[in-house]
Amino acid sequence: MDAVLDGLWLVVQWPAIGYLFLGVLIGLYFGAIPGLSGLVGLAILLPFTFLMDPVPAFAFLLGMFAVTTTSDTLASVLLGVPGTAASQATILDGYPLAMKGEADRAFGAAFTVSALGGVLGAVALAVSIPIVKPLIFSFAKPEFFALGVLGLTMIGSLSGGNMVKGLFAALIGLLISMVGYSLTGGVPRYWLGATYLLEGIPIVPMVLGLFAVPEVIELAVRNTSISRVPRSSVSGGMKRGICDAFRNWWLFLRSSAIGIYIGMLPGLGGVIVDWIAYGHAVQSAKDKSQFGKGDIRGVIAPESANNAMKGGALMPTVAFGIPGSPAMAILLGAFVIQGFMPGMQMLTTKLDLTFSMVWTLAIANVLGAVLLLIWAKQIAKITFLPSHLIVPAVVLFVMMGAWMSSNTLSDWWSMLVFGVIGYWMKQGGIPRPPLILGFVLGPIMESALYVTYQAYGPISWIFRPICLVILILAIVTIVITALRGRRHSKEGSTVKIQETQNEDQLAGFVFIFLMVCVFFWAGLQSLGWERATGQFPIVVCVPAVVLGLLALFRDGLELKNVLNISQNGLRTLLSNSLVLRELPSSSLLLLSLVCIAGVTVLFGQAIAIPLFILGYLIIRGKTTWLFALSYAAIAGLILYFMFGELIGILWYPSIFIEYG
């Protein structure tokens, strides 16, 4: 109880409560705009926590992340587009409700159960801490390596029915984590002769590149308003929706329990939790006739689950250092930045900090829901803005977020490289979240494997009771996921995540082929190293080559069918390629981002970024000079006051302008 009260006091003190409130406001925006999810939000905000104290930093990040699955209901209901991956199932009944003139009713129910579900998730986290504490003390290095294996196998479920590609992407993340000096022996690996890579690839530019840059490219290429729903079509009663939430209290409790349980399973996260809760609502309902046509229960179930999931996802992250969701993998980066190690420390000497996170989740969920109940209609107007008004603001924060990692232009080049990789993976149907999870787990698993091998040998550690149970769970996970994927494929009911919708098969095939070549090269390189240095690369590269070849075989059969069906098979394949169709526009945007770096060398960021915004609005947005100049001037003020004065970044030492 002392830790509980201390945690509450830490959160309500200034400046933590101020950062919590600011995080909630930002999170509402990131959830409401499709493409700017909590995952992207964490990636963008993470650099801002470099100079913060721990409690304000986590209040800022968790305050933002907690409410994204509340405000994502706006886009799901109004636009029929998921604001985040966790709101896909909400569309099935939320959008029909809006078309029936009952959008406010859907909002009232969704925001109410989101707040209550988030509180239940936080309570579950608090209650689970004393339970998992003794379990932590029974874990040694073999168990942590086995947990890493379990997390990577579970991440296969994030691949939208294709477990092979999910595991392959996770192994790519493990390989990237090995760039730089090895943990054992201090031997430089895969550094390509670039001194920047000797210390490893920084997580912030990589995450921003993988997740934020592809969304910016898509918004720029589309260049249309996000919304396709007339404002006049939205009407209804919010009070009725609130009453619906309490009337269906038993469904709310069951769905919240599902969310908490799924959240605790490392790797599953919010991608499937809303579908499971929605399926449960349909199966348990006596009258199923209105589902899919505007049944309020189809909104209550997924919205209860996806908010409760976050408290559950935080539990394995804090207790074991194994992310319960892809976003929690980024949160682990915040732990590293603040100098904390998940596990025993967070449950003993830093228990008050852990409970401050519990209170942050609870307060943020309630605060976010209340604000949305008040501001829902006003916030919804943001989704009607043309995308060319959104892109410049996102570019500003993405570029400066990457810069704050180590204040070098190399971070920008790293971000742009991973931006290309992330865009290629997204269009090619290869999930990106497993990659970042593998990157974060890489050092943990390599260290655990080395110590395990030295202390227990190559085989005997497997038969330790906890290790055996965990590895059996991993095998069962693979088998069940494979069988379920085959059954859903036959039924045509496979749940697809964002990466696997409108999949560019040609781009995916080429990407996997190139990565198989990279894994083959990396494996050959590791054969010349000492066992301590080359052991983990071999463990990663061998299964990666096998999985990659399997994925190439399956995708090759599909491409062959396309070539055989059509008379002009190759021409059809090339014309259907999303990457090739968008290549001129996407290349132009990437080139403009490169130009920002070039102008920065001459005049610094404070000139380069507003200049990009001015040019983008005039050329791409076709706005007036006055509007473009005003937008660019505001961006310049943000750069000067927020980044220069408030954060105090080190500006690039440009040739012509000297910054103080």
pLDDT score at 24: 85
Out of 193-207, 230-244, 273-287, 633-647, least confident range: 230-244
* pLDDT higher than threshold 80 for residue 478: no
* pLDDT higher than threshold 70 for residue 134: no
pLDDT score at 499: 46
pLDDT score at 418: 92
Nearest partner of 512 among 564, 559, 457, 462, judged by Cα: 559
pLDDT score at 496: 46
How much of the chain, in percent, has pLDDT values that exceed 90?
13
pLDDT score at 617: 92
Q: What is the 3-state secondary structure (H, E, C) of 222-251?
A: HCCECCCCCHHHCCCCHHHHHHHHHHCHHH
**The tokens of 191 are what?**
């550094």
Out of 89-98, 180-189, 400-409, 425-434, least confident range: 89-98
pLDDT score at 537: 92
Q: For 245, how many CA atoms within 13 A lie in the half-sphere containing its CB?
A: 24
* pLDDT higher than threshold 70 for residue 84: no
Q: Which of 71-85, 433-447, 557-571 is the most confident on average?
A: 433-447
The SS3 call for residue 189 is strand
Confidence grade of residue 594 (pLDDT, cut at 50, 70, 90): very high
* pLDDT higher than threshold 50 for residue 413: yes
* pLDDT higher than threshold 70 for residue 144: yes
> How far lies 528's CA from each of 179, 199, 617, in Å?
16, 21, 53
CA distance 230 to 101: 12
Confidence grade of residue 226 (pLDDT, cut at 50, 70, 90): very low
pLDDT score at 501: 47
Average pLDDT on 477-489 reads 69
DSSP 324: S
CA distance 502 to 576: 10
Out of 381-385, 396-400, 471-475, 653-657, least confident range: 381-385
Q: Which of 83-87, 237-241, 510-514 is the most confident on average?
A: 510-514
The residue ranking higher by pLDDT, 353 or 129, is 353
Q: pTM value?
A: 0.70
> How far lies 377's CA from each of 107, 109, 239, 349, 491, in Å?
10, 15, 14, 45, 39
* pLDDT higher than threshold 60 for residue 336: yes
* pLDDT higher than threshold 50 for residue 613: yes
Average pLDDT on 414-439 reads 85
Place of tokens 């809006």: 98
159 touches 165 (CB < 8 A): yes
Confidence grade of residue 495 (pLDDT, cut at 50, 70, 90): very low
Out of 93-102, 213-222, 225-234, 406-415, least confident range: 225-234
CA distance 34 to 83: 4
Average pLDDT on 471-476 reads 82
pLDDT score at 547: 92
* pLDDT higher than threshold 70 for residue 350: no
Q: Which of 297-311, 376-390, 406-420 is the most confident on average?
A: 406-420
Q: Where are the alpha helices (DSSP H) in 79-102?
A: 91-99
pLDDT score at 160: 46
The residue ranking higher by pLDDT, 180 or 41, is 180
Q: Which of 176-180, 400-404, 463-467 is the most confident on average?
A: 176-180
- Residue 189: beta bridge partners? 180
The residue ranking higher by pLDDT, 614 or 377, is 614
Q: What is the mean pLDDT of the chain?
A: 77
pLDDT score at 346: 64
Average pLDDT on 518-545 reads 91
> Residue ranges of the domains in the chain?
2-218+234-483, 504-580, 587-647
The residue ranking higher by pLDDT, 659 or 296, is 296
pLDDT score at 225: 52
Out of 82-96, 263-277, 469-483, 498-512, least confident range: 263-277
Average pLDDT on 491-498 reads 46
* pLDDT higher than threshold 80 for residue 645: no
pLDDT score at 10: 73
Confidence grade of residue 493 (pLDDT, cut at 50, 70, 90): very low
DSSP 386: B
